[in-house]
Amino acid sequence: MDELLADFVAETREMLEASAGEIVAWEANPADGARLDSIFRFVHTVKGNCGFFDFPRLAKLSHAAEDALADCRSGTREPDSALVSAVLAVIDRIVAMVDAIEAGEDFAHGGDTELIAALEPSDADDTPVGESTINELESTELPADILDTKDNLGQKASQPASVDRAKHKPETAAVQRSIRLPVDLLDRVMSGVSDMVLARNDLAHRLRQAGTQPTIDGPFERLTAILSDVRDAITRMRMQRIETLFSAFPRLVRDLSNDLGKQVMIDIQGGDVELDREMIEMIRDPLTHIIRNSIDHGIEKPSDRLGLGKREIGFLSIAARQSGNMISVVVSDDGRGLAEERIADKALAVGLITESERADMTSDGILQLIFKPGFSTAETVSNVSGRGVGLDVVRQNLERVGGAISVKSSAGIGTQFTLQIPLTLSIIAGLTVETSGQRFAIPQSYIEEIIHSSSKALDFTRVGETALVTFRGNRVPCLLLSDALGLKRSEIAEDQSTMVLLRLASGDLFAMGVDAIHSHGDIVVKPLAPAVMKCGIYAGSTLLDDGQPVLLLDVTSIAADNNIVSDFSSHVLQIEDEHTQTEAAAVSRAMLFVDFNGHPTAIRLELVQRIETITTNAVDLSGTHPRAVVDGVILPLVGLSEEPLQSDKLHLLRLSDGASQLLYAVREVEEAVELSGALMPASDEPLVEAVTLVGNKPVSLIDGHELFARFGVVPEIVNKPLCRLPEGEWARTILTPLVKSAGYDIVSSPDTAEDLAIWFEDEFEAAAALDTEFLTPVVRLRDAPEAVAGSPTIYRYDRDGLLEALRQVRRAGASA
């Protein structure tokens, strides 16, 4: 909450700074409509923002000012100097209140009523001003006069608070530890750093060609390390997860729907999309406005919804996706949609369009009217969404940063707003894929899953010309990247392609077949020349580490080109379908696999967290129960047979009941199936819940309850044991990787206590001769292959012996 509050304060200040010039200009010329609009937006946004904080006085003041200004905008009132002064006074009071909010103190009571009264048209000026709260010094003056001295007003009308403020000012200044920088400066620094990284890669390449040069390699390594630090810092400096913005919405939706007597469920996706801080600030208002409008005007009251055959609870979805150098945020609701007729009527009434213009307008054109300044459809002005100022602010804000907003609506089905926000220069996570011998990058944010060609689950089929794959039981359209790009088909058979499942911002899922997956990592997206952008399939380019340029695919356009995007109305219906489907089907899905004894077995899909493949040396069979290390976590391992492990690799299902986890070793993972057959309880085997038929074959269904009751543990992070190595180049370059791969961390500082020390035999003898105490186990290495009798040493290139010794020490440490 504190953070939200700080945001509110900062935002209000920022807006005020921005509109300070406007205020002055408006004062000089009250008839200036553009100035009026921008001041109107300011008070409107303040009003909106304090609606969801508990600041009734702020809300009241800004609402009053908004009312007065709205009258001017609609032309029912002529702005005069008294009004200007009154509005300015209100703005000053808002500032003073915001200061008080930031300092965390109460703002002196009183004074508001006068300010609000001053906003009334001048003929109302004679009405008694204020009841009793007016301050003694000004009690005889007319409000308009008080307000004239706008610079002093804050102090005059609220003496106690201003005294407090004076006391608190220096403190706040001391607390402030951030500075504001222009964004282009950050841009320049960031693009400089990205260029530096590429220049470094180039240099590294040349150094490798020139062979080892110790005098250069050292400093070069240092440069590399520094550069990667700087790059991290710069990236973090600009980027923020959009989550920081989204996190406020559930609360906002809850409060609004309560206020309005509606029930709304909110679904938020893509919170991990990273966006420029600046951009996040830029879309904060727009999104808030859209959500407010959607709940206020879009979603019907529960009783109305039931009458229309809809679910009682309205559905509001907010999804963010990254597409190359654009981020799209889609806000859709399943409310009544936008009423075109009423929009058109309203636009006529306020004079935005003429009768003849209206006759020529397409329905889309009519929808676009809602982005015009001074437009509103709400019959009554509610406290929540206001008078249609919202959307023109939204569009203005977005267009200023080169973005766009569009709206689609179907009567009775819903409304969908799409905001496109540019990422002019950005680092995004991307996946490099290869097709027909050429590499391309795909933004990670689209990727739902990657399925390798070997997987049987894929079930690639052609229906007519369309290719389909099966993903989690659904048929998903499939597009071969080589076809989409018009490249020559590669040698790989089409059903052997690796499938990258991509989810679009609209929620549509499709598979893209590629020949191979290369790497994923952060990529610096640079814009492409206009002629290339015009192809409509690329979003930018990036350079690989070897300096080779790679094109970043524009997934949305490719999907649209191939008609994979469903149209809007079916999408909203789909969302509902998905919900009902998951409710009905939640109990009956299971993962089918072959266990170590060769039996077909199934386990409920909800328990399966991930499929892991580990090397057998991560398995520890020494204890009473087998254990294995996955991602630095030791977990119990179930499902191994008595026989020793035959291959180097082990497939595991990582199971979780939410809190505890365990690993289940399997011989082969097959596919996810629906448990449609009857479940026959099996009582003789404790770990089997039931036997069922899957495709006419009997399958044992594992009893998750029993399994976790017996074996589940809450994972603990492995503390790697520490090993101290002897000095010297050999130890550093040859021994270190080996010891690390055996699961040790290397200690270098003399103060840290190690769990194990490795010594060269000659040094060990020298130390022993000096009566050095060896507190920890010691592994001694000898130079000669032949062992000296009676001395427990290991030849320095005896890999197996060394690993065995390391393992023994580790096991002893673990049991100790």
Partner 1 sequence: MINSLLVMALIAGRRCAFLAPDVESVIEVGNITPIPRAPDHIAGLTAMRSQALTVLDCRTAIGFDADEFPLDHRAIVACHLGDTYALRVDAIEDICSAVSEPGTVPGGFGQQWSRVSSGLVETRVGPALLLDLEALIGGQAAIGAAA
Q: Please, what is the minimum distance in Å from the beta carbon of residue 206 to partner 1?
A: 12
Q: Which residues in the 431-450 window bind partner 1 by CB under 8 A?
A: 438
Tell me the window of 172-180, 513-521, 542-550, 666-674 that interacts with partner 1 (CB under 8 A): 542-550
In terms of CB distance, is 108 or 528 closer to partner 1? 528
Residue 542: count of CB within 10 angstroms of its CB: 21
Q: Which of 40, 371, 446, 538 binds partner 1 (CB under 8 A)?
A: 538
Residue 541 beta carbon to partner 1: minimum distance, rounded to whole angstroms: 5
Determine whether 590 is exposed, middle or buried from the number of CB atoms within 10 Å of its CB (0-12, 13-18, 19+). buried
Q: What gap in Å lies between CA 333 and CA 299, rounded to an integer?
A: 7
Compute the Cα dihedral for 359, 361, 367, 369 and give only its sign.
negative
Min CB(485)–partner 1 separation in Å: 4
Among 69, 72, 197, 479, binds partner 1 (CB under 8 A): 197
* Nearer residue to partner 1 within complex by CB, 202 or 671: 202
Minimal distance, residue 49 CB to partner 1, in Å: 37
CB-nearer residue toward partner 1: 30 or 527:
527
- Return all residues near 735 (Cβ < 8 A) that are at least 6 apart: 725, 726, 758, 796
- Choice from 144, 279, 384, 485 touching partner 1 (CB under 8 A): 485
Nearest CB to partner 1, comparing residues 192 and 681: 192
Candidates 33, 271, 477, 527: give the one binding partner 1 (CB under 8 A). Answer: 527
- 528 scored as a contact of partner 1 (CB under 8 A): yes
Contact present, 194 and 239 (Cβ < 8 Å)? no
Give the full edge-to-edge strand order of the sheet including 589-594.
668-674, 589-594, 600-604, 697-702, 688-694, 680-681
Give min distance, CB of 197 to partner 1, in A: 8
Which residues from 91-110 bind partner 1, rule CB under 8 A? none
- Determine if 151 is a binding residue for partner 1 (CB under 8 A): no
Stretch that binds partner 1, among 290-298, 533-541, 615-623, 647-655 (CB under 8 A): 533-541
Query: Which window, 106-114, 241-249, 523-531, 772-780, contacts partner 1 (CB under 8 A)?
Result: 523-531
Q: What angle do CA 175, 181, 186 make, to 5 degrees?
A: 130
Q: With binding defined as CB under 8 A, does residue 531 bind partner 1?
A: yes
Place of tokens 């001694």: 780
Options 145, 151, 195, 631; binder of partner 1; rule CB under 8 A = 195
Out of 535, 679, 788, 812, the only residue in the binding site for partner 1 (CB under 8 A) is 535
The minimum distance between CB 205 and partner 1, in angstroms, equals 12
Amino acid residing at 774? F
**Should residue 198 be labelled a site residue for partner 1 when binding is judged by CB under 8 A?**
yes
543 part of the interface to partner 1, by CB under 8 A: yes
Residue 523 interacts with partner 1 (CB under 8 A): yes or no: no
Q: Counting beta carbons within 10 angstroms of the beta carbon of residue 128, is it exposed (0 to 12), middle (13 to 18) or buried (19 or more)? A: exposed
Nearest to 566 by CA among 487, 509, 645, 524: 509
Q: Quick check: 402 binds partner 1 (CB under 8 A)? A: no
Task: Give me the amino acid identity at 460.
Answer: F
CA 196 to chain centre: 28
Given 18, 20, 166, 199, the residue binding partner 1 (CB under 8 A):
199
**Residue 529 binds partner 1 (CB under 8 A):** yes
Of 7, 32, 187, 202, the residue at the interface with partner 1 (CB under 8 A) is: 202
How many residues bind to partner 1 according to rule CB under 8 A? Answer: 30
Q: Is 194 in the site for partner 1 (CB under 8 A)?
A: yes
Does 188 sit near partner 1 (CB under 8 A)?
Answer: no
Residue 382 is encoded by which pair of tokens? 């509610």
Minimum gap (Å) between residue 236 Cβ and partner 1: 21
Binding of partner 1 by 518 (CB under 8 A): no
Residues paired with 731 in a beta bridge = none
What minimum distance in Å lies between the beta carbon of 439 and partner 1?
A: 8
Q: Are 234 and 190 in contact (CB under 8 A)?
A: yes
DSSP letter (8 states) at residue 491: S
Nearest to 400 by CA among 494, 318, 285: 285
- CA geometry: angle 647, 648, 653, nearest 5 deg: 90
Q: Is 547 in the site for partner 1 (CB under 8 A)?
A: yes
Answer yes or no whether residue 618 interacts with partner 1 by CB under 8 A: no
514 forms part of the interface with partner 1 (CB under 8 A): no
Element (H, E) at 154: helix 150-157
Q: Which residues pair with 758 in a beta bridge?
A: 779
| Segment interacting with partner 1 (CB under 8 A) among 49-57, 193-201, 490-498, 670-678 | 193-201
Tell me which residue of 794, 712, 710 sits closest to 758, measured CA to CA: 794
CA–CA dist 327, 561 (Å, integer) = 19
Q: Report the distance separating Cα 389 and Cα 40, nearest Å.
A: 9
Burial class (CB in 10 A: 0-12, 13-18, 19+), 479: buried
The one-letter code for the residue type at 538 is: Y
Binding site for partner 1 (CB under 8 A): 194-199, 202, 438, 485-487, 526-532, 534-535, 537-538, 541-543, 547-551
